[in-house]
Amino acid sequence: MYTHRALSDADLHSICSFPQTAEELFYIGPKFVFPLTPDQIISLLANRFEPTVVIEEGTGNVAAYANLYDRNDQTCWLGNVIVAPEYRGRGAAEYLLNTMMRKASQLHGMHKLTLYCHNTNSRGLAFYHKHGFKPVDIRITATDAGKSIISIQMEKPLV
């Protein structure tokens, strides 16, 4: 079973251990540099809100993390979604997504949640599709290595 709370400084080192490769870190945030450091997370938080961690109730371990950003009239974005390797496939991502949708809707009055998922992240694309997100646009993002990645914009109504 899981619970959630606001991000604390004590969570940063755990979250930094979640991305296993530079490619995985790119999925979480294209501006991050591998390996992820607490300073990178902190600097990004200046433009984010509701930084949230999912905690496994029995152990107190941080299982997942995400935040919201770019709030406008009735839409905001879900960002920096990451699940600890040992919690993947164990319901932490679903709990996190439901928590973030509820926060966007109930705490901030948002009617739609939007996100980007990269075309090479097939597990993420399948997960978001399963939870009702629909593709609405694409953009081409270049990696530091000059490789082009298609970022698929997906959205879901919250009401």
Percent of the chain at pLDDT exceeding 70: 100
Q: Give me the long-range contacts of 9-15 (CB less than 8 A, separation at least 24).
A: 9/38, 11/53, 11/62, 11/65, 12/38, 12/41, 12/42, 13/38, 14/61, 14/62, 14/84, 15/41, 15/53, 15/62, 15/65, 15/82
Structural domain count, the chain:
1
pLDDT digits (tens, 9 = 90+) for 19-45: 999 989 999 999 899 999 999 999 999
Residue 142 lies in a domain: no
Indicate the pTM of the whole model.
Answer: 0.96
Between 147 and 84, residue with greater pLDDT: 84
pLDDT at site 37: 98
In this prediction, residue 145 has a pLDDT band, given cuts at 50, 70 and 90, of: confident
147 pLDDT band, cuts 50/70/90, is confident
- For residue 94, being part of any structural domain is answered with yes
The chain-wide mean pLDDT, for the chain, equals: 96
Q: Is residue 7 part of a domain?
A: yes
> Could you tell me if residue 118 is inside a domain?
no
Question: Is 81 a domain residue?
Answer: yes
Range of the domain at 69: 2-113
Q: Is residue 71 part of a domain?
A: yes
Whether residue 144 is predicted with pLDDT greater than 80 in this model: the reply is: no
Note whether residue 50 is domain-resident: yes
Sheet of 75-83: strand order equals 2-6, 48-56, 62-69, 75-83, 112-118, 148-157, 134-142
Q: Is 138 inside any structural domain?
A: no
For residue 94, what is the domain's CATH number?
3.40.630.30
For 55-94, write each residue's pLDDT tens digit.
999 999 999 999 999 999 999 999 999 999 999 999 999 9
For residue 65 the two structure tokens come to: 């993390």
